[in-house]
Structure 1
Amino acid sequence: MRPWKICGVAVLVALAATACGNGGGGTGAEGDAPGQGGAGFPVKVADCRGAETTFSAPPRKIVTSNAAALEMLLRLGAGDRVIGTGFPPGKGTLPGALGARAQKVPVLGKMVIPKEKLLGSGADLYIDTFASMGNMGGAGDAPTEEEFTAAGIKHIYLASTACAPMAEEPQKDLSGVEGDITRLGAVTGTSKRARELVAGMRTKVAAVREVVGEVPREKRPGYFFFDFDAGTKQPIAVCRKQVANAVISQAGARNVFDGCDGDFKPVSWEDVVDKDPDWIQLGVRDRGDAAANTKAYDEAAAFLKNFAGTKGLKAVREGKFLRIGSERTTIAGVGNADAVEEIAHTLYPAEFKAAR
């Protein structure tokens, strides 16, 4: 078995004590003081190719490459150890106090963190979301592992995003995201909280599966994630190894581009027309303001209704649009389970009403 193929899904990091499928993985007790050993340590984490990093104690100063890892750490209760991030979450992306805490994290790069700034940050851990993701512009100038070591920075990945494109299997469920949360919980000594977060996600998805889980693939409605913010000249499809494919699948829909390999792929409007989806998600990133979000959704819908290539699509003619933020669909996190729930209830209202 290849080192990055675990439990049949794109979960690519091995722990000292991991158990796929039950939320286990790492036994670090929540409340272990940063910088001190404790229950569950040492923890070993392997990268996409199997190279291991060992933690004898929780890290003290963490830098995250983007909002996905930052949100996970905030939810785990380890946010006070984050000293910087790249690709920060937009204002309003995270709810309430969580969002307020995220806005206080220093931004080391509005996009990819410059190499010199990352190496000079004083971090002892860098959590990377972008390995093998060539579309993240600037990632090619990332530090080498030797440079990370020289700077005293341990380097680990979010497997569900960084490693998934090179995995053999598509992402069909949220086990990859659950694995990331579990592993970060083990590394930061917050495993108890990680188990709670994973259990909450599983409860929501299980409730959806009870209603729509038996719908065969050929009877599932075709679903297209329209990344409006990526531009309208050429659509970008979410492929079978992207987290969004798992979200769509678990919601009882059929990603019309689940045949393309990798995570994202530029396609043509002719390709979209050929798929003729039953439903279209208007993928809009949070603008930080309800009115601004509504305006962006309206603009996305107006484009599809007025563009000659899409106005004849079944979903467009019938107005079958979902207004669900891009972040909860394409970025790994607890919100993926909420997106599963919202999509399923939109697509199967009668079935959920009957199940009450």
Structure 2
Amino acid sequence: MRPGAWCGVLAAVALTATACGGGSDEGAAGKTAEAGAQSAGFPVSVTDCMGAKTTFDAAPKKIVTSNASALELLLWLGAGDRVAGTGFPPGKGALPGQLAAQGAKVPVLGRTVIPKEKLLASGADLYIDSFSSMKNMGKMGDAPTPEEFRAAGIRRVFLKSTACAAMNKAPRTDLSGVEADIEQLGKVTGTSARAAELVAGMRKKTDAVRGALKSVPQDKRPSYFLFDYDAGTKQPMAVCNRQVANAVITEGGGRNVFADCEGDFKPVGWEDVVAKNPDWIQLAVRNRGSAEANDKAFDEAAEFLRSFPATKDLKAVKEGHFLRLNSELTTIGGVRSADTVREIAHTLHPDLVK
């Protein structure tokens, strides 16, 4: 953390301090600040995708987020007033109603990936990276090196459930990775109590679904294909067993037809989808900014599957077994992942999950 930002943190925590500079009370103020930081759970250490450790002696004061999902998590945690900018900003209607007004005030540093120079000059002391290694985000631009981040005084925290998904050692079948991200951000931002509340709320929902489906054997649950319409129709993109979507689908009582695929995402052929012949297909489109625009995109995705020779005779297509769910709610982890689990479960098992 840069000296100026550190000074601001100390001034906020040490209520008896008169300034960050010298003075006769400097020693006492420093001790008070240290005690305040420790009482808030600091110092806090977190690791990146490769296990390298970063330690925070106090909560960050100025945060930049890589995309809307990281921004949303900070808003849920009550740390939204510290967000100084974001990339991939939330579209109209993308954030929950109670968060929308505050989210709309966050400066947009990049409509997609934040330009390297703008990120390094943002004055942030923390950058939250949601998609460091995600292969389906396209060209990620010229990202700053670790050395450049350090020179700018910016520390980086990864949302591992997505950023590190491809590196997971085992398939993701529950939301523990997403919950860990929330708890980690809570520790880093000094909002651990709120993080615990959010995680408890998520677990209450997923535990209820799990209890409702306990009588349905895994091998009897309907097969499920997430059709990422925005990834293109020439070659479908499969979500594999390390991706958050695999956990959401599994917890929702479905069987991801590409759960045998190692990693997070993988291009496959339509012949592979046909061979799986899924019971249900999610029409996964990215939020278009309005219910009307989203419905139009869902309709287009469904019409493609009904008219495309390779897919028109699939079981799910012939029976109209489509789920109209924005892809962000499935493939990007967050507080609302538990709601998506419940929605999938209700659609697939309406008699068991009300």
- TM-score bin (small chain): 0.7 to 0.9
Query: Whole-Å Cα distance in 2 between the matches of residues 298 and 140 of structure 1?
Result: 32
Query: Offset of 1:138 from its aligned partner?
Result: 3.7
Does residue 343 (structure 1) correspond to residue 344 (structure 2)? The answer is yes
Query: Offset of 1:143 from its aligned partner?
Result: 1.0
Partner of 2:42: 41
Distance 1:260 1:113, change over 3 A: same
Query: Whole-Å Cα distance in 1 between the matches of residues 135 and 299 of structure 2?
Result: 31
User: Aligned AA for 2:288?
Assistant: R
Task: Give the alignment's Cα RMSD to 1 decimal.
Answer: 1.8
Partner of 2:310: 309
User: Aligned AA for 1:58?
Assistant: A
Partner of 1:8: none
Query: Whole-Å Cα distance in 2 between the matches of residues 292 and 111 of structure 1?
Result: 20
Query: Offset of 1:213 from its aligned partner?
Result: 3.4
User: Aligned AA for 1:55?
Assistant: F
Partner of 1:332: 333
Distance 1:279 1:155, change over 3 A: same
Query: Whole-Å Cα distance in 2 between the matches of residues 312 and 48 of structure 1?
Result: 42
Which has the higher mean CA deviation after the structures are superposed, 175-184 or 208-217?
Answer: 208-217
Query: Offset of 1:145 from its aligned partner?
Result: 1.0
Partner of 1:63: 64
- Given that 2:115 and 2:141 are in contact with CA atoms closer than 8 Å, whether structure 1 keeps it comes out as no
1:142-181 per-position Cα deviation (integer Å, ceiling 9, x unaligned): 1111111110001110111111211210111000000000
Kindly indicate whether structure 1 or structure 2 has the higher relative contact order, using CA contacts under 8 Å at least 6 residues apart.
Answer: 1
- Normalising by the residue count of structure 1, what TM-score does the alignment of the two structures yield? 0.87
- Given that 2:135 and 2:265 are in contact with CA atoms closer than 8 Å, whether structure 1 keeps it comes out as no
Which has the higher mean CA deviation after the structures are superposed, 251-260 or 104-113?
Answer: 104-113
Query: Whole-Å Cα distance in 2 between the matches of residues 296 and 304 of structure 1?
Result: 13
User: Aligned AA for 2:233?
Assistant: T
Query: Offset of 1:240 from its aligned partner?
Result: 0.6
Distance 1:347 1:210, change over 3 A: same
> Matched residues, percent identical?
68
1:261-320 per-position Cα deviation (integer Å, ceiling 9, x unaligned): 111111111111111000001101222211111111111111111111111000000000
Query: Whole-Å Cα distance in 2 between the matches of residues 253 and 42 of structure 1?
Result: 41
Partner of 1:103: 104
- Given that 1:123 and 1:153 are in contact with CA atoms closer than 8 Å, whether structure 2 keeps it comes out as yes
Partner of 2:153: 152
1:81-110 per-position Cα deviation (integer Å, ceiling 9, x unaligned): 011111111111112131222222111111
- Bigger Rg, which one: 2
Partner of 1:178: 179
Write out the 4+ residue segments of structure 1 that deviate beyond 4 Å after TM superposition: 31-36
Partner of 1:23: none
Following superposition of structure 1 onto structure 2, how do residues 161-200 of structure 1 map, counting pairs within 5 Å?
A: 161-200=162-201
5+ long unaligned stretches in structure 2: 1-11, 16-32
Which has the higher mean CA deviation after the structures are superposed, 336-345 or 262-271?
Answer: 262-271
- Given that 1:108 and 1:118 are in contact with CA atoms closer than 8 Å, whether structure 2 keeps it comes out as yes
User: Aligned AA for 1:288?
Assistant: G
Query: Whole-Å Cα distance in 2 between the matches of residues 275 and 100 of structure 1?
Result: 43
- Given that 2:69 and 2:332 are in contact with CA atoms closer than 8 Å, whether structure 1 keeps it comes out as yes
- Normalising by the residue count of structure 2, what TM-score does the alignment of the two structures yield? 0.88
Which has the higher mean CA deviation after the structures are superposed, 35-44 or 143-152?
Answer: 35-44
- Given that 2:71 and 2:103 are in contact with CA atoms closer than 8 Å, whether structure 1 keeps it comes out as yes
Partner of 1:114: 115
Aligned residues: 323
